Amino acid sequence: MVSWNLDAERDLWRAICSPNRWHTSEGTSHPKSLQHFLERCWGTKFYFESHPEQARWQYEPIHGPFLKWLQTHILTWKVLARRPDVTQQYRVAVILPRDFGKTVCATKSAMVWAHLDEPDMSTLICSATSPLAVDTLEAIGALISGDIKDSWFTWLYGNWRKGGKSWTRESIEHGYRKTAGLNEPSFDTCSVDSGMTGYHHRIHVWDDPIIKNKLREGGVYMQGVHDAVGASYNALQKNGLLLFVLTRYLDDDVAGRAMVNEGVATWSGMECPNTMLFQKIPMGKGSWHVFFWQVEDELTGLPTHPILWDVDKIREAKARDAEDFACQHQNDPGTSERAPLRESQLADMYMDYTDFQFQLQALGLVEAASVHIDTAFKRKETIGKGDDNAIVPWLHDARRNGILYLDTDNLRASNEWREEEFNDELIKVLLNIRRRGIRIKALTDEVEPGGKAGSYRNRILGLVRASGLRLTDEQFIQFNRTSDKRARIRTGAGHWVEGYVKILLHKDTHGHWIIPPVARKLFNQILRVDVAPHDDLADAATDGFAKGIWVQPRIQQWGTDNEGDLPRQPGDDELRSFSRPLSMQELYTMMDEQKHINETLGPGHGPDNWTLDDPV
């Protein structure tokens, strides 16, 4: 009979499951230390083995890479925090779907694991409500005091309740702590509804700070959430770890605002579904390290966690509430099955400015430009909300095919401009367009607020004319945009999908598209019309398709003649008529169309102007 050395086994696992206790040539922590801690010390391995009836959320293809990623960033932070020259907080965001075990992995297991090599660590657990934060703390307390049956924790590291100076429902100072007299508890709690104390912890964890039902109530709820989370930036130690563990709800939720305003340093897991978020700070230049996952792979349409979510369950969830599935399972607010436009469709609309110059502008195929503005400075309430003053220029194709070209070189937006600054930018845009030999056929704005009707209109017409541009009263059109903005934007987005939009861009030296931040902002507002916090650019852009400005395509007589019908595609029944002789009516129609093209392009173009002396 072989005698098994239980103490040696315990020493081995104690080193494996703890940070900075496993010394090899590759480092001082086992490469799967956090995962082994989760499975053996928190006990997920033993729990699932003894409860086969439970849906197993831990899935190696997802949680293996995720836990390794999380371990790497916690260890990186620990190294940086020891350097006296590092005073920046380290920011990590875990964005996983519901039911994927993100709280057990990151908020509970990883936070206890982080204490193992630093007994004096202090961690603040933050949640949407005090009871939720207390529930998380009670689970941690049960683990470190030996009350979880499936756990190896106390066998490996002892009972941390013994010798603890404080053990309440709201905070714990465990017996593993070495230094007496520290103000901050080992584990502490706070919430959106209770606020923070004056302590300065080493780690702040915000675990799902938003309650979905509260969002339905509207009002100032989301501002309260942002204020509560924002308090961490000052309350957390200057070189501390700020950790978000959450699921997405809105474009401007906690994770969304952080990624837009502070940017992303690294992105792991699945590909980012909305690169248009990065309007202010390009991807890779920000401060957040993000791990991102979705229930369904949007590229393949397959489940990423088939044990929890199979194809039928995904289909049912989408049918039940497509918007909820997009948020809490895809972590991509505003991109449900009902979204009018997807980011993947934009790439087909990109057109190089150089190609536009040679293929259209040089040949006289640009009819005119229309410029559409949104003037937030007119109303105090829009200024207070951070709405943009926007300038959106469209170039119209002269061939009456309905195609509009978004002139991104002259696209403008700012929520800081005063009226005089906006006017200066507008005049610059109008002059830039005219210098390229393109006439301006319309300038549109929203109807001015009551009591001020016509005042801004008169001022801007005077400025335009003083700059040497010709713009009649009839060419300055004001629309009532107050009624159902989202419906208007959705209708406009439908024209993008139908192929009536080309987006003019430049390329870098490697041939990659250069998308200006203001263009990303416009795309984001259209892509996420139901959840985007602002819609000023998208609202102004929709005017390009307004009646009297947009020349809708007309189908030839052998097809239909309804304005706005889609251009015919290869394989359509109408195109089969090309194999038969033309009727006289069809011939006259073609002649009329050719006459129109000649008149539009001027002399020297078209077959009617060819001569025998023209080179072949």
407 pLDDT band (50/70/90 cuts)? very high
CA distance 573 to 120: 77
Sequence-distant (≥ 6) Cβ neighbours of residue 177 within 8 angstroms: 119, 120, 164, 165, 186
Are 99 and 54 contacting, i.e. CB atoms less than 8 angstroms apart? Answer: no
Section 400-426 average pLDDT? 93
Block residue for tokens 């040696």: 8
Say whether 373 sits in a helix, a strand or coil: strand
Query: Parallel, antiparallel, or unpaired for β 171-173 and 187-191?
Result: antiparallel
**What CATH number belongs to 344-545?**
3.30.420
Query: Parallel, antiparallel, or unpaired for β 264-269 and 123-127?
Result: unpaired
Residue 547: how many other CB atoms lie within 10 Å = 7
Run of H or E including 215: helix 212-217
Are 126 and 95 contacting, i.e. CB atoms less than 8 angstroms apart? Answer: no
Structure tokens given for 535: 């819609």
Which residue type is seen at 74?
Answer: I
Residue 448: how many other CB atoms lie within 10 Å = 16
Section 422-439 average pLDDT? 94
CA distance 248 to 251: 8
Are 129 and 67 contacting, i.e. CB atoms less than 8 angstroms apart? Answer: no
CA max distance for the chain: 107
Run of H or E including 385: none
Please report the sign of the dihedral spanned by the C-alpha atoms of residue 493, residue 499, residue 501, residue 507.
positive
Q: Each residue of 525-565: pLDDT tens digit?
A: 888 777 777 888 999 999 999 988 998 776 544 344 443 44
Rounded to an integer, what is the distance from CA 532 to the centroid of its chain? 9
For the ranges 235-244, 286-295, 333-342, 345-354, the lowest mean pLDDT is seen at 333-342
Say whether 20 sits in a helix, a strand or coil: coil
Per-residue pLDDT at 277: 75
Sequence-distant (≥ 6) Cβ neighbours of residue 513 within 8 angstroms: 350, 505, 506, 507
Which residue type is seen at 512?
Answer: H
Q: How many residues does the chain have?
A: 616
Per-residue pLDDT at 178: 94
34 pLDDT band (50/70/90 cuts)? very high
- For the cut 50, the answer to whether the pLDDT of residue 608 exceeds it is no
Structure tokens given for 374: 């949104």
CA distance 344 to 585: 42
Per-residue pLDDT at 610: 33
Q: Each residue of 123-178: pLDDT tens digit?
A: 999 999 999 999 999 999 999 999 998 899 999 999 999 999 899 999 999 999 99
